[in-house]
A = this chain, B = another copy of it.
Amino acid sequence: MSVTIYDVAREAGVSMATVSRVLNGTAVVKEDTKRKVVDAIAKLGYRPNAVARGLASKRTKTIGIIVPDVSSPFVAEMVRGMEDIATMYAYQIILSNSDAQADREIDLIGTMWEKQVDGILFMGNQVTAELLKAFEQAQIPVVLCATVDPDGRIPSVNIDSEKAAYDATQFLLKHGCTRTLLLGGPADHPVVGAPREKGYRDALAKAGLQPRVVNCHNLTYEGGLEVLKQEFATHPLPDGIITVNDELGVAAIHACSDAGLQVPEQVKVMAFDNTRLASMVRPELSTVAQPIYDIGAVSMRFMTKLIHDEPVDEFSVVLPHDMTVRRST
């Protein structure tokens, strides 16, 4: 039905092998025959069948991406970074959502293996032993994105969450806050939970101040608002709040205003992520800028190196964070 490499070969008066060679630039072809082939391709409007090519060459030029949920802004931006670099290297991506469910993650690794992806970019919460086993079985390169493997056995791209939280806290302390509160994530979360809490506590310990941590299981605006409303109703009001993402930061600002507190005069708010949301609230949110897009881009670049056996200087890449100071501090 559709035109194959065989048709091109016949049209150009050469063998399929030769067509394949000019297609892939995999060997030197005489200029003259090359032209004949190129002409035949143009004439017939030939496009190689990537599936057949994948079967024969055992490389599909596709990368599997497993994320908790693309519809989250953080993830969406990271995925965009991945896709841009993939395009640059002529790879395509197969995207799947796991909702951070362990069994679904394992499932997806299997499906991607079946699809013969050349590598997997993985973002999740916990890197369990089971997951590790699934990666091992798949026998393809894996890069963890914004996801930490406690044992560091898998290549990964992250920011230093602990240091970032430490810096954010220090900033607040330096600006005179003494009764700070961390609106944190679930304690067992390897990115948004434990490390940020540790950074926060360390900074306070160093300053000889009392830490105060409120864990938030639903890291959304609504979740944050509810938790803070409860907290403000039952405990003394803080003069500084650190939140582990921008949505919670917006929630903090509104919760303060509901409680009759002026931001930043009476309480300063420092958030995380520097998503576009941060500048869409009044007062604009100061926030620790995470290079979200870059995490995706660097992960994908890392993957291409792994696939092509290029040397990599670092196994666990840590991207620098940055602080964007606006009006809320």
User: Which residues in B have their C-beta under 8 angstroms from that of A279?
Assistant: 221-222
User: Which residues in B have their C-beta under 8 angstroms from that of A80?
Assistant: 69-71, 97
Looking at the complex, which one of B79, B95, B97, B247 makes contact with A280 (CB distance below 8 Å)? B247
Indicate if A257 sits at the interface (CB-CB under 8 A): yes
- Residues A50-93 near B (CB distance < 8 A): 50-52, 54-55, 60, 62, 69-73, 75-77, 79-80, 83-84, 87, 92-93
Bin chain A's interface residue count. Answer: 35 or more
Indicate if A254 sits at the interface (CB-CB under 8 A): yes
Bound Cα distance from A143 to B96, whole angstroms: 20
Indicate if A281 sits at the interface (CB-CB under 8 A): yes
Q: Is the CB of A115 within 8 A of B92?
A: yes
Q: Interface readout for A95-117 with B: 1 if CB under 8 Å, 0 if not?
A: 11100000000000011011110
Looking at the complex, which one of B69, B70, B71, B116 makes contact with A51 (CB distance below 8 Å)? B116
User: Which residues in B have their C-beta under 8 angstroms from that of A93?
Assistant: 94-96
Instruction: Considering the complex, give the chain B residue whose CB is closest to the CB of A45.
Output: B137
Bound Cα distance from A190 to B51, whole angstroms: 35
Q: Is the CB of B116 within 8 A of A49?
A: yes
Q: Interface readout for A265-291 with B: 1 if CB under 8 Å, 0 if not?
A: 000000000001101111000000000
Bound Cα distance from A92 to B72, whole angstroms: 20
Bound Cα distance from A113 to B87, whole angstroms: 16
CB distance from A14 to the nearest CB of B (A): 21
Instruction: Considering the complex, give the chain B residue whose CB is closest to the CB of A95.
Output: B95
Bound Cα distance from A280 to B223, whole angstroms: 12
